[in-house]
């Protein structure tokens, strides 16, 4: 190990007076890179999402942290960014880590990167584990093209709009979700995108109870209703071919929304989003049917 650390340090020495983003293991500490181990032991300042988890990781790797360890999480990272950049300006080696995966990818880290670039402070990255490519690889779905869209919205209406956006996308969609919202989210996804759309739920990646559940959105919604625990990511396969939508077949759906109090144009827009139909053609089909 010592020779590997020496080799890593010699090949690409970590910058003094800079910000270092480092990916941390999703679960298994042995996924830590040699460069992360070197950085944990040699940093002057460590900005951690959860200081206890970072110290636990260091203990699991046999590393004695000498750095000043500061919390850097969702509710304080904007204020913390300037402090970390000032440390770097003073010549200190500042390491930024999260609980698992890559900083700034749906985790703390972006504000300090932005502040560092604005202050002309060097920024580098130690690549490593990330739940997104791990989930995509394990999904067994067509993921040659994909979009990672962070966490799914919490409110039902926002979730419906969220999934409508990807209804006709030919790329896979990957997002994070909390276990207690998973069943409802998958149920809404099935309603909007179709219950037969292939998908995968990846749970507790690299940990003892790792599980990848594959099936259709409808099947996965039923499975999740029984209760799911752990860190969750979802992959939904993209539409494999464009499906022609006949606006005339959707007129009744629009009229039902109008009867519930929606304006015609709003109803057409919502149905168009849900089905992939043209809003203009749908509007014209409604008027044509009304005019008999």
Question: Is the pLDDT reported for residue 240 higher than 90?
Answer: no
* Report field, pTM of the whole predicted structure over 0.85: no
Q: What is the pLDDT of residues 187-197, one digit of tens each?
A: 999 999 999 99
Question: Is the pLDDT reported for residue 244 higher than 90?
Answer: no
CA-based max dimension of the chain: 83
Percentage with pLDDT > 70 across the chain? 93
d(CA 89, CA 19): 10
Q: What is the pLDDT of residues 122-165, one digit of tens each?
A: 999 999 999 999 999 999 999 999 999 999 999 999 999 999 99
Question: If you average pLDDT over every residue of the chain, what do you get?
Answer: 92
pLDDT of residue 167: 87
Element (H, E) at 172: strand 172-177
pLDDT of residue 219: 97
d(CA 207, CA 119): 39
pLDDT of residue 227: 95
Q: Which of 11-15, 105-109, 156-160, 263-267 has the lowest average pLDDT? A: 11-15
CA–centroid distance for 124 within its chain: 21
């Amino acid at each position: 190990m010592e020779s590997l650390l020496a080799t890593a340090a010699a090949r690409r020495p970590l910058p003094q007076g800079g910000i270092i983003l480092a990916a941390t293991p999703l679960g298994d500490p042995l996924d830590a890179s040699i460069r992360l181990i070197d950085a944990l032991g040699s940093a002057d300042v460590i900005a951690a999402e959860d200081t206890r988890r970072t110290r636990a990781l260091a203990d699991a790797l046999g590393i004695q942290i000498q750095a000043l360890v500061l919390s850097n999480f969702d509710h304080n990272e904007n204020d913390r960014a300037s402090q970390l950049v000032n440390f770097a300006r003073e010549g200190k080696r500042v390491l930024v880590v999260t609980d698992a995966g890559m900083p700034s990818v749906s985790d703390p880290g972006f504000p300090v990167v932005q502040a560092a670039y604005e202050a002309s402070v060097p920024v580098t990255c130690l690549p490593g584990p990330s739940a997104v490519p791990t989930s995509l690889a394990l999904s067994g779905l067509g993921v040659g093209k994909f979009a990672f869209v962070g966490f799914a919205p919490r409110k039902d209406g926002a979730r419906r709009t969220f999934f409508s956006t990807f209804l006709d996308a030919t790329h896979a969609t990957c997002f994070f979700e909390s276990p207690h919202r998973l069943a409802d989210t998958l149920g809404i996804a099935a309603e909007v995108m179709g219950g037969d759309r292939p998908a995968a739920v990846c749970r507790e990646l690299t940990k003892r109870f790792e599980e990848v559940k594959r099936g259709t959105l409808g099947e996965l919604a039923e499975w999740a209703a029984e209760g799911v625990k752990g860190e969750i990511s979802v992959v939904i396969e993209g539409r494999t071919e464009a499906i022609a939508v006949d606006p005339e077949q959707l007129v009744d759906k629009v009229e039902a929304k109008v009867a519930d109090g929606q304006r015609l144009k709003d109803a057409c827009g919502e149905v168009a989003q849900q089905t992939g139909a043209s809003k203009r053609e749908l509007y014209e089909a409604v008027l044509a049917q009304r005019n008999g």
